[in-house]
Structure 1
Amino acid sequence: MAQTTSLSPLINQLLINRGIETPEQAQVFLNSGNLILPSPLEDFPDLGMSLELLHNAIAPWAGPLGTIAPSAAPEAIASQEKIAICGDYDADGMTSTALLLRSLRWLGAQVDYAIPSRMHEGYGINKRIVEEFHSEGVGLILTVDNGISAFEPIERARELGLKVIITDHHDIPQQLPPAHAILNPKLIRESSPYRGIAGVGVAYILAVSLAQKLGQANDDILTSMLELFTLGTIADLAPLTGVNRHWVKSGLQHLPKSKLPGVRALIQMSGVHLSGGQGDESIQNSKSRSVDREATQSQNSKSLKPEDIGFRLGPRINAIGRIADPQIVIELLTTDDMGIALEKAMQCEAINRQRQEMCEQIENEAREIVEIEYLPSLQEDRVLVIVQPDWHHGVIGIVASRLVERYGVPVFIGTYEDEGQIRGSARGIPEFHVFDALEYSQDLLGKFGGHKAAGGFSLPSENLEALRSRLSEFANQCLEPQHLKPLLKIDTSALLNQIHHQFYQQLNVLEPCGIDNPDPVFWTSNVRVIEQQIVGKGHIKLTITQTIDDSEYKIKAIAWRWREYFPLPPRLDIAYKLRENHFNGNTTIELELLGVRLPTQSHIFFAAHSAPLRTTFEYNQCHYTCGIYKNGSVPELRIGNPDGKILAVPLGHSIGLLGSSRQQAIQVDVSQPQYNQILQTALQALSMLSNQY
């Protein structure tokens, strides 16, 4: 592979980890800009009908392949059918709505939109919106990022004589709504390159196809649609493979030079650095701004990276839909007035700060409740269901994701709308299907929807305990105890002397990175922490060194929101991603720590002396002895308790022996909490002792 690609073996290992196992596959991946796509008309059975319905609504005077005359007579314009878009309040739904509004208006349509209230109505089109559209003289309803589960509202629209096109990407329910046309990648062949698109991807295909049909597909409108597609796709965490990777790669190059005032204002307000500019250190040292993860992701090139959208632009868009009026984002992304765009971008900035504060408060409260009430039974329940009053429904999904990261179990989190009703959000782990779990519990729920990784739901308050029991029942069918812990997947090991600018530049061949094409995660063993301090809102900034062939290699690192782990032990195995830091015109490569553990490599304990390393420690108010011994060629950790029993574990292994002698010892899994905690305490004591040599 390395001979074929002319890339380093480490980079080729990353390709192999992503399922790219032959030189031919590597060339296809590395040259994804040359991807040849089938016509969407071949893969989406209802696309032709959708185009016909829209074509007839926009240009009823034109022929089947007619174009819109710029000076169409007023009576021709008056004969148009009014179109209404029903969107969603997340980034995917709002960018989809803005994309179709811009494109349909460009094509001359009479078009308006509505987005249901997150707080009062919840997700998706409803009967109120349908009847309101009808009273306003709408003839064609177009849903974006919703509608696939809205049987009754669509049925009501048909009763009122409205035409309906559903564009959605969520999982398919048992009964499809009676729409005139449905565009959903979950309904097309599994081998299609369009299978992984988000709601904004469906909207993009529809808008581009319609512009082409009407002969209006010029560069300006196509580029603006591509930019909105890119924003929505990354913000919605759609997989960056296949057609998404192909289009997003192009969109990221267009965004820095966007002609859309809303995009330019959003980039300006969020502090994405497109060239030169102040970097991480200037932000850290400013007294007027605090260091925050999304505020320290800087970029110094003419092409954005997905992380710029994921950590900076996307949260500002999403914050509006979570706790404010989505109209702010729609106006931001559809206006052609830079003054209005800056005003709306400033609103996004202020609301996003409010969202951050709310998330932090709710997360702290949730963690306290979990530690007291639910942690002891989490291994048996295998799912966390937590509901509290006075939590803002718009941000509990973010908190659910953070609880999944911390506890490694599926999380269903909710809050009371009133005394009789609960609304919630769910987030899963790889082995758990959220939408299937909700379907398994549907007799206890009101509305629900989602996909494998996430979902939303409502239920009567009296059903809460029954739901908790039902979800635990489902979780016990698909989860084993070994699944219930935070999981960090590592690509490959690296030494600090392999991390430099040339290597970082080679990593760009993997871009754009995101879902199903993740940022590479490396690990390095036995590093030394020589400096560390708390910065910003509880982040640890540190300097790490590693000695290789009598030479010392030093690098800086950041650990986001790790205040509770400060100070870190002096010696660690570390897992991390790479990032650039720009400061005073200089660019350096730094580590973004994702996980650490106490070193388990034998050279830590035998480098300075040949005798076994021994010490004592206290655990649960009892005194223990521990030491590292050589058992043949394998170093072994042995822990002795006051009763004379010994736990012996080969370093780096998960199975140990427990007993008074090896002949009578039983095998135990030391990854289980009752063993793992004492094992880590012993290693901590030995690591501190080893560091003194």
Structure 2
Amino acid sequence: MIGWREIERVSSKRAFPDLEEITEKILNTRGIFTEQQRQTFFFPNYERDLKDPFWLGDMEKAVERVRQAMEKDEKVCIFGDYDADGVTASVLLKNVLDQLNVNSFYYIPDRNKEGYGLNLEALDYIKKQGAKLIITVDSGISSEKEVAKTQELGMEVIITDHHHPPKELPKALAVINPKKKGDKYPFKDLAGVGVAFKLAQALYQKFPHLNKDQLKWLLDLVALGTIADCVPLIGENRVLVKYGLIVLAKTKRVGLKQLFSVGKLAINSDCPPNSQQIAFQVAPRINAAGRMDHANTACGLLSCSEKEEAEARVLALEVEEQNQRRQKVTKQIIQEIEERLAKNLTGDLIWESSMYWEMGVLGLVAGKVAERYNRPTFILQEKEGLIKGSGRSAGGFNLIEALEKNAELLEKYGGHSQAAGLVIKKENEAIFLEKFKTLIDQEKIADWSKKAIVDAKIYPEEINDKLLAELAFLEPFGEGNKKPLFLMEKVEILEVKLLGKEQKHLKIWLKKPRGFLEAIGFDMKDKLEETKAGRINVLFHLEEDSWNGRKKIQLRLVDLESA
């Protein structure tokens, strides 16, 4: 079984006697010790908990410049990104500018031909379209050279971004980024679509003819982009996603409805989604458009009006096809990398490249490889003397800081502490790797073995309907608020079965003082031998299983071993 460690309980004093002790322990591990903290966490409030958008630096400048564009009938370009965060941010801002009757269009760069962020060829195109103002979403913070070029072309730039700011910021008209040095906005972990929403919020405040109630209908996009970008689902993000999931259940967007229909996703007003459904079913489909072809397909899908249902259907089918191809290509590359690593896995950094790998899936592959091998991982494409690709971290190592310390060797880089991208010349690869590995060594991470963080050890008799109901208040789950992981030791097995057409899923009935517990382990056939001793230690999540209208508690197995 994978290694594990239990989160230490900070306080042994019961503050919430009405809750199961297990629930209280989990709240404590999330820093919740008072009734006020509990109420805020359990019941996020849109009006109470969202911060004033004008606390963000340069917001006043941005709103005033949009006002000028509206009054002068200037054309505005929304410059987005090709991932789900950038796509949702682009569509959101376009919706708001349309409501203001601002003449606007969005531009999403081609991942393969242009790469991430502003680029000179795109700026020339935008200029020819007659734009006087560019508003970036989910990008721009590292585009110092490109922003300077826009001024030469007679255009102004408002940057809205959430990525790690470089030491020298672009000299834009306004730079809206909560991570900007000295920015007083209290919540720093907004996604790109979250920052775009704050601009929308500010515009709604300044233009009283806009119906503020309509602002909430944008939260379906905010929830989708926020979950997809894996930012921490705490603080303001928790509020935006909690309400956004409600809006997603009754979304007015024809494109999303068609996406749910084509993908056979059970999401509607009678069956609201949770964050896991969005993360593993909806977001990958939106991302697939930009990974396998062009993100304009996803933007077009999310932008379809009620009169364009037939077009939305066609676009949803196209996105579904791209997602299926994305799955196939990702699987092939991972298999190739695993074959390489089986022969030669040395050191604390995984750095693998090929001229044949598709750029669009490299981040996905890096994430899966980093998760499996628990090493900082870069998966790259090498062509014509340039190496470019994506990295994902492990062991708490800060990727973006390490890249920043080697910026002189890089053509381009950007991202976050745990996910980043880079472009480097082949001639600089060896010296870069030497310096990068030195930075990893300096972290002195002695043990790279994967360890599960257990929220609580639990006994069979402690698992009941009340506990399951209380755990539901912790949703939405995601980064910063993981689904609780439990450990149960030396539990007795009553029965074991293999399920599925290929007999690769493990179903186990476990004994409790009165009755039994049902556990399911998907793709865990290889653990069958461990069950033969009659007792096992299990790592699992608790969930509600619903089948033919009957609901019951189920243990979703993560790992197990004979006890």
Shared fold by TM > 0.5? yes
Does the 8 Å CA contact 2:133/2:156 hold for their aligned counterparts? yes
Q: Which amino acid aligns with 1:365?
A: E
> 1:109–1:89: structure 2 CA closer, same or farther, 3 Å change rule?
same
The answer (yes or no) to whether the contact 2:499–2:507 under 8 Å persists in 1 is no
Paired position in structure 2 for 1:19: 31
Alignment-derived partner of residue 339 in structure 1? 310
Partner Cα separation in structure 2 for residue 545 and residue 20 of structure 1: 34
Residue deviations 1:355-386 (CA, integer Å, cap 9, x gap): 1111111111111101101x2x2xxx321111
Alignment of 1:240-251 (within 5 A): 240-251=233-244
The residue aligned with 2:414 is 449
Deviations 1:453-508 (A, max 9, x none): 100111122333333322211110113222x1112111001233433443222211
Cα RMSD after superposing both structures: 2.3
Over residues 313-353 of structure 1, what are the superposed CA-to-partner deviations in whole Å (9 max), with x where a residue is unaligned? Answer: 11110111111211111111111122222221221111111
Tell me the CA shift for residue 141 of structure 1: 0.5
Of 422, 425, 443 in structure 2, the residue corresponding to residue 460 of structure 1 is 425
From the superposition, tell whether residues 488 and 301 of structure 1 become closer, same or farther in structure 2 (CA, over 3 Å): farther
2:467 to 483, 503, 515: 503
**Aligned equivalents of 2:528 and 2:366: distance in 1?**
24
- After the TM superposition, which residues 424-573 of structure 1 pair with which residues of structure 2 at under 5 Å, given as runs? 424-482=389-447, 484-527=448-491, 530-533=495-498, 535=500, 540-549=504-513, 553-559=516-522, 561-562=523-524, 568-570=530-532, 571-573=535-537
Partner deviation per Cα, 1:6-34 (whole Å, 9 max, x = no partner) = 22111111101111123332233223226
Q: 2:365 aligns with which of 374, 396, 399?
A: 399
Q: Distance in 2 between matches of 1:400 and 1:565?
A: 26
Residue 327 (structure 1) aligned with residue 296 (structure 2): yes
Alpha-carbon distance in 1 for matches of 2:370, 2:422: 18
The count of corresponding residues between Structure 1 and Structure 2 is 545
Distance in 1 separating the partners of 2:34 and 2:152: 56
Q: Structure 1's 189 and 569: CA in aligned 2 closer, same or farther, altered over 3 A?
A: farther
Aligned-pair distance for 1:593? 2.1
Give the structure 1 partner of residue 379 of structure 2: 413
Contact 2:545 2:551 in 1 (8 A): yes
| Structure whose alpha-carbon radius of gyration is higher | 1
Equivalent residues of 1:37, 1:193 under 8 A apart: no
Amino acid at match of 2:444: L
Contact 2:56 2:184 in 1 (8 A): no
Match of 2:194 among 201, 207, 229: 201
State the AA in 2 paired with 1:319: A
- Out of 355, 359, 364, which is 1:389 matched to? 355
Output the amino acid matched with 2:176: L
Amino acid aligned to 2:521: I
**Is the partner of 1:35 in helix, strand or coil?**
helix
Residue in structure 1 matching 2:254, options 246, 258, 261: 261
CA deviations on 1:417-459 (whole Å, 9 max, x unpaired) are: x241111110012420010121223233221111101001111
Q: Could you list the per-position Cα deviations for residues 576-614 of structure 1 after superposition, in whole angstroms to 9, with x for gaps in the alignment?
A: 112333322222332222233443xxxxxxxxxxxxxxx
SS at match of 1:423: strand
Taking a change above 3 Å as real, the CA distance of residues 372 and 563 of structure 1, as seen in their structure-2 partners, is farther
The equivalent of 1:371 in structure 2 is 342
Identity %: 33
Displacement after TM superposition at 1:545 (Å): 3.6
The aligned counterpart of 1:296 is none
Cα distance change, pair 414–326 in 1 and its aligned pair in 2 (3 A): same
Query: Residue 360 of structure 2: SS of its match in structure 1?
Result: coil
Question: What are the superposed Cα offsets for residues 20-60 of structure 1, whole Å, 9 maximum, x if unpaired?
Answer: 1233322332232263444221x212000000000110124
Rounded Cα–Cα distance in structure 1 between residues aligned with 2:517 and 2:474 = 26
Secondary structure of the structure 1 residue equivalent to 2:76: strand
Moved more, 213-222 or 447-456: 213-222
Higher RCO structure (Cα 8 Å, ≥6 apart): 2
Contact 2:226/2:237, CA 8 A, preserved across alignment: yes
SS at match of 2:105: strand
Q: Paired residue for 1:28, among 24, 40, 60?
A: 40
Cα pair 1:497 1:553 within 8 Å, conserved: no
1:127 to 2:140 alignment? no
Equivalent of 2:81, from 67, 82, 88? 88
Deviation at 1:191, TM superposition (A): 7.4
Structure-2-length-normalised TM-score:
0.91
Distance 1:104 1:318, change over 3 A: same
Conserved? CA contact 2:398–2:417, under 8 Å: yes
Task: Tell me what 1:105 maps to.
Answer: 98
- Amino acid corresponding to residue 493 of structure 1 in structure 2: K
Query: TM-score normalised to the size of structure 1?
Result: 0.75
1:202-238 CA-to-partner distances (Å, cap 9, x unmatched) read: 1111112213322243256313321111111111111
User: 8 Å contact 1:528–1:544 — kept in the other structure?
Assistant: no
Structure 1's 92 and 216: CA in aligned 2 closer, same or farther, altered over 3 A?
Answer: farther
- Tell me the distance in 2 between the aligned counterparts of 1:88 and 1:19: 34
Aligned amino acid, residue 40 of structure 1 = P
Output aligned runs, 1:200-349, within 5 Å: 200-218=193-211, 221-274=214-267, 302-336=271-305, 337-349=308-320
SS in 1 for 2:510: strand
What is the CA–CA distance in structure 1 between the aligned matches of 2:408 and 2:528, rounded to whole Å? 46
CA distance in 1, matches of 2:530, 2:474: 32
